[in-house]
């Protein structure tokens, strides 16, 4: 499939995991990619992987919590690429805490990266996306937003916010040709997932409902859903969420 031929795609969280796999998939399908992440070394690796598929790739080191910097790099990406019509926003973190013990700072850090970061990235990308007759954005939520995951009050709230925000964007911009959807991953074997640690003294039985019956999946299995949502194959899919969780919440 070459669904991204002639397309320019901005991808955040592109240094690792699902974002990196998304960059590879889009490059493999003929797209050019602007890669954004806080991790410069990882970005260089993803650039090489994308270029190996014949894609043009640009990298931008950026912390998504810095709204001014986000705007600067997304405007720069638009200039470097000659505009873009697709955004895949994957940057995010997961931390777990017993909620009554977590500090305000820990709460704000998760909300800042996952929810405010999504706003900054979408806000900066929208003027560029809307220059096109048709455009698409895909945000990364999580099964924690719609399931019941212990120790993740901040993470779940941030990812629930991502779904709500994305639906609002759909409604606001649908007449201007934007499609705005979320992927809802769960159990994808990435650093974020591998680093998952329940807080001290946690009752692991509480996590049962969050687990898929099948094994954990590869980043490519979430990237393929993102690529679908970002592509014209999803022409009639808008303002919604697609779960890639091995059926964990089914
Ligand atoms: N892996 C899963 O099972 C899973 C489940 C649900 C949701 N998600 C979501 O999918 C997305 C991708 O996660 P992943 O599993 O690939 O994790 P990952 O840790 O492999 O990749 C996340 C990327 O985001 C980048 N990042 C983190 N904070 C950043 C910041 N402040 N500014 C810029 N970049 C930043 C990291 O450097 C990294 O490259 C995240 O939004 C995550 O919440 C993943």
Please report the domains of the chain, with CATH numbers, ordered by start residue. 8-244 (3.40.50.720)
Residue 195, Cβ neighbours under 10 Å: how many?
A: 10
pLDDT at 234: 98
Pocket flag, ligand 1, residue 109 (CB < 6 Å): no
Task: Give 12 Cα–ligand 1 centroid separation in angstroms.
Answer: 9
Q: Is the CB of 218 under 6 A from ligand 1?
A: no
Nearest CA to ligand 1 atom 11: 90
Ranges under pLDDT 50 in the chain: none
The ligand 1 atom at the shortest distance from the C-alpha of residue 187 is 3
* Centre of ligand 1 from the C-alpha of residue 190, in Å: 8
> For residue range 101-160, what is the model confidence (pLDDT) as tens digits?
999 999 999 999 999 999 999 999 999 999 999 999 999 999 999 999 999 999 999 999
Instruction: Tell me the pTM.
Output: 0.98
Q: Are 47 and 35 in contact (CB under 8 A)?
A: yes
246 lines ligand 1 (CB under 6 A): no
| Cβ atoms of residues 32 and 6 within 8 Å | no
Choose the residue to mutate in 14, 17, 158 for probing ligand 1, maximizing ligand atoms within 8 Å of C-beta: 17
Query: Is the distance from the beta carbon of residue 145 to the nearest atom of ligand 1 less than 6 Å?
Result: no
* Ligand 1 centre distance from Cα of residue 43 (Å): 13
- Answer yes or no: is the C-beta of 70 below 6 A from any ligand 1 atom: no
* pLDDT score, position 55: 98
Q: How far apart are CA 200 and CA 157, in angstroms?
A: 22
- For the question of residue 155 being annotated catalytic, the response is yes
The pairing of beta strand 32-37 with beta strand 57-61: parallel
Given ligand 1 and candidates 14, 18, 122, 138, which is best to mutate, with the most ligand atoms within 8 Å of its CB? 18
The closest-lying atom of ligand 1 relative to the alpha carbon of residue 91 is 24
**For ligand 1, is residue 238 a contact (CB within 6 Å)?**
no
C-beta separation of 29 from 4 below 8 A: yes
Q: Which residue minimizes the CA distance to atom 40 of ligand 1?
A: 92
Given the residues 60, 155, 170, 173, the one annotated as active site: 155
């Amino acid at each position: 499939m070459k669904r991204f031929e002639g397309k320019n795609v901005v991808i955040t969280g592109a240094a690792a995991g699902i974002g990196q796999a998304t960059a590879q998939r889009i490059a493999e399908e003929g797209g050019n990619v602007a890669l954004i992440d806080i991790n410069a070394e990882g970005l260089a690796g993803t650039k090489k992987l994308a270029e190996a598929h014949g894609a043009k790739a640009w990298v931008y080191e950026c912390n998504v919590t810095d709204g001014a910097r986000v705007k600067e790099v997304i405007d720069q990406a638009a200039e470097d690429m000659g505009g873009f019509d697709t955004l895949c926003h994957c940057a995010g973190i997961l931390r777990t805490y017993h909620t009554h013990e977590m500090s305000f700072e820990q709460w704000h850090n998760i909300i800042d990266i996952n929810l405010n970061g999504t706003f900054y990235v979408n806000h900066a990308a929208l003027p560029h996306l809307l220059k096109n007759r048709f455009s698409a954005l895909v945000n990364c939520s999580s099964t924690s937003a719609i399931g019941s995951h212990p120790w993740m009050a901040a993470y779940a709230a941030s990812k629930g916010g991502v779904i709500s925000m994305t639906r609002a964007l759909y409604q606001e911009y649908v007449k201007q040709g934007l499609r705005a959807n979320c992927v809802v991953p769960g159990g994808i074997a990435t650093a974020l997932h591998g680093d998952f640690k329940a807080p001290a003294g946690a009752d692991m039985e509480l996590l049962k409902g969050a687990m898929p019956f099948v094994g954990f999946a590869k980043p490519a299995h979430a990237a393929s859903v993102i690529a679908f949502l970002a592509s014209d194959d999803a022409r009639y899919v808008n303002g919604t969420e697609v779960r890639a969780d091995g059926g964990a919440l089914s």
